[in-house]
Amino acid sequence: MGILNLLLFTAAIAVNAQQAALTEDSRCGCYLLKGNDTTYFSKHRFFDFRNHDHHATVPPVIAEVKDTPNAPVTSPFFNSTDWTDFWMISNWNNSHGTRQDSSLLMVNSPNNVYLEANPSPTNPSPKSWLSLRTQRLPEFQTAAEIESLSAKFKFVSLRMLARTIGAQGAITAMFTYRHSEEYSQVQESDLEIRTSDPKNLIHCTNQPSLNSSGDVEARASKNATMPDGLEWSDWAVHRLDWTPGRTTWYVDEVEVARIEFQTPREVSNVILNAWSDGGEWTGDMEVGGSAYLQVQWFEILYNTTEKLEEERQGREEGEGVCHSVCSVDGTPEVGRPVMLWSNGVGRGLGVFGGWVPVVMVTVLFLLA
Q: In terms of CB distance, is 44 or 194 closer to ligand NAG? A: 194
**Residue 73 buriedness (CB in 10 A; 0-12 / 13-18 / 19+):** middle
CA dist., res. 178 & res. 191, Å (int): 15
Of 79 and 180, nearer to ligand NAG (C-beta) is 79
Q: Which is nearer to ligand NAG, 243 or 350 (CB)?
A: 243
- Candidate residues 71, 73, 88, 254; the one interacting with ligand NAG per rule CB under 6 A: 73
Contact between 184 and ligand NAG (CB under 6 A)? Answer: no
Residue 236 or 259 having the CB closest to ligand NAG: 259
- Could you give the angle at the alpha carbon of 297 between the alpha carbons of 293 and 301, nearest 5°? 110
Min separation Cβ 355 and ligand NAG, Å:
25
Q: Which of 7, 14, 69, 360 binds ligand NAG (CB under 6 A)?
A: 69
Q: Is the peptide bond preceding residue 138 cis, with omega within 30 degrees of 0? A: no
> How far apart are CB 157 and ligand NAG at their closest, in Å?
13
Distance CA 44, CA 58 (A): 30
Interface positions, 126-165, toward ligand NAG (CB under 6 A)? 150, 152-154
How many CB atoms sit inside 10 A of residue 260's CB?
A: 11
Residue closer to ligand NAG, measured from CB, 93 or 118: 93
Residues 221-280 that bind ligand NAG (CB under 6 A): 223
Give residues with Cβ within 8 angstroms of 340, minimum separation 6.
9, 12, 13, 16, 20, 32, 325, 326, 327, 346
Nearest to 130 by CA among 272, 8, 234, 308: 272
User: Residues 2 to 21: which contact ligand NAG by CB under 6 A?
Assistant: 2
Q: How many residues bind ligand NAG (CB under 6 A)?
A: 26
What is the nearest approach in angstroms of ligand NAG to the Cβ of residue 340?
Answer: 20
- Alpha carbon distance, N-terminus to C-terminus of the chain: 21
φ, ψ at 11 (rounded to 5°): -65, -45
Classified as helix, coil or strand, 11 is helix
Between 114 and 341, whose beta carbon lies closer to ligand NAG? 114
CB burial class (10 A; 0-12, 13-18, 19+) of residue 169?
buried
Candidate ranges 75-83, 114-122, 156-164, 358-366; the one touching ligand NAG (CB under 6 A): 75-83
Q: Which of residues 19-48 bind ligand NAG (CB under 6 A)?
A: 36
Spatial distance between the Cα atoms of 110 and 62, rounded to a whole number of angstroms: 10
Does residue number 200 form part of the binding site for ligand NAG (CB under 6 A)?
no
Question: What is the SS3 assignment for 320?
Answer: coil
What is the rounded distance in angstroms from the CA atom of residue 233 to the CA atom of residue 248? 21
Q: Which of 298, 250, 279 is nearest to 131 (CA)?
A: 298
Q: Per-residue x/- marks for ligand NAG, 88-117, CB under 6 A?
A: ----xx-x-----------x----------
Q: How far apart are CA 163 and CA 174, in angstroms?
A: 12
Nearest-approach distance from CB 218 to ligand NAG, in angstroms: 7
Of 45 and 336, which CB lies nearer to ligand NAG in the complex structure? 45
Query: CB–CB of 42/325 below 8 Å?
Result: no
Q: By CB under 6 A, tell whether 54 contacts ligand NAG.
A: no
Smallest gap from residue 148 Cβ to ligand NAG (A) = 7
Q: Which residue's CB is nearer to ligand NAG, number 271 or number 346? A: 271
Binding segment (CB under 6 A) for ligand NAG, from list 23-31, 69-77, 284-292, 352-360: 69-77
Alpha helices in 16-121 (DSSP H): 81-84
User: What minimum distance in Å lies between the beta carbon of 220 and ligand NAG?
Assistant: 11
199 or 312: CB nearest ligand NAG: 199
Q: Is 194 in the site for ligand NAG (CB under 6 A)?
A: yes
The footprint of ligand NAG (CB under 6 A) covers 2, 36, 65, 69, 72-73, 75-76, 79, 92-93, 95, 107, 150, 152-154, 194, 197, 211-213, 215, 223, 302-303
